Amino acid sequence: MVRPVQHHETVTWVEIQMVIYAILDVREIDQTFISYTWLYVVWYNAHIWWNPYEFCNIYQIVVPSEALWRPDLIIEEMIEKDKAPPTPYLTISYYGFVHLRDNLVLISTCKMEVYKFPFDIQTCTLSFKSAVYSVKEILLEEYSNSSATTEWSREVMRTQSEWLFMHVNVSKKTVDYLGFNQSMLIYSVTMKRRSALYIANFMLPVLFFLCLDLASFLISDSGGEKLGFKVTVLLAVTVMQLILNEILPSSSDRIPLIAIYCIGSFGLMMLSLLETILVMYLIRKDSQDNEPLEDQSLNEKKWTDFACVCDVSAEETAPEEPSVTKEGSSSHLMEESHSLEKVSDELREVEKTLSLILNTRNEERKPLYWAGVVKTINKVFFIFYVSVATVFLTVLFFLWRYAEGE
């Protein structure tokens, strides 16, 4: 039950081969990597040897794993206990090599580089080392190199979830742990995210909302339909941001590009909403400025109608005088007729005066002044909106394509 060497200063060489059988899940919010792996470990036991010809040509035997010493290998990134049942047997060859074959469901921590999400490439490491033995007692070696391990993993890979397996890199190093050096074997699993689903379900809807907000410039500013439409689109983008917040981890060093994409789209839509509010305020102000002129026009019309009525009364009164009357009655009627003519003349003068005043005021103020300002604001803001949106999306495209990860 102790390290199987003839002399305690002899180093035990342990060869490890790990193959990725399945990528079960990669949780960005928890930054964990879940994989199903095949593990093959070989070491030499100096106390075991036999001649197969003397023992019925038996070249290897299988014994319970508790019967022999086995290296105390641990995975440094592992955060949960292996859920797969351990292999209960070891295989022993006649020349003294012991073989361990095991299947592991590994739940390990993995630092996610989500800056280019969903076009990111993740690399998760699985570091094997001994729990108690130093580098003077156990040395870890790779059974196969990186290219052979990658090809083997591609051949046996059964499922990859939303990821595309790229390659496995195998390296070894010596680490200082609690005052003594230990040998460590590191498997770096590199995989690329399949981004088509995120493009179809997230990025394109946000882009469509941006196009809808741009198309809202064709809606009339006079009613409240345009304002309600823009608020609805803005709320839809807010819902998409809440969904994104549930996917990405909060411990990222830099703001992911997809978050900048959502924030930029939200900012453009918010500016468009503010512009609509300003335009509607100016239109309302223009209509309020025109209300006094309408009242004055109504007063002018009343005075004109009154003057016309007086003229008609004067004209109708004159012919109805009797041809033969008394002198007193005739003189009285003549005085009333002259009085009505004087009132009619005075009303005409008042009408001319009011018309002159109203015409002077209309000449001094331009009709519908704010309507022209609104047209200018809409035109300038539309050009600004299209230019900024085009530059913003173009820069994001190049960053997603060429920028380095974290």
Q: Is residue 266 within 8 Å of 231, Cβ to Cβ?
A: no
- According to DSSP, the residues that pair with 23 across neighbouring strands are 35
Give me the pLDDT at residue 291, please: 53
3-state secondary structure of 254: coil
Give me the pLDDT at residue 150, please: 94
The 10s digit of each residue's pLDDT in 49-67 is: 999 999 999 999 999 988 8
Give me the pLDDT at residue 335, please: 67
Tell me the C-alpha distance between 216 and 104, whole Å. Answer: 56
- According to DSSP, the residues that pair with 184 across neighbouring strands are 129, 173
Residues, the chain, total? 406
Give me the pLDDT at residue 252, please: 65
Strand order of the β-sheet with 12-27 is 60-64, 89-93, 97-109, 32-44, 12-27, 138-142
Q: What type of residue is 403?
A: A
Domains located in the chain, CATH noted: 12-194 (2.70.170.10), 195-319+346-406 (1.20.58.390)
- Segments of the chain with pLDDT less than 70: 223, 251-252, 286-333, 335-338, 343, 351, 354, 356-370, 404-406
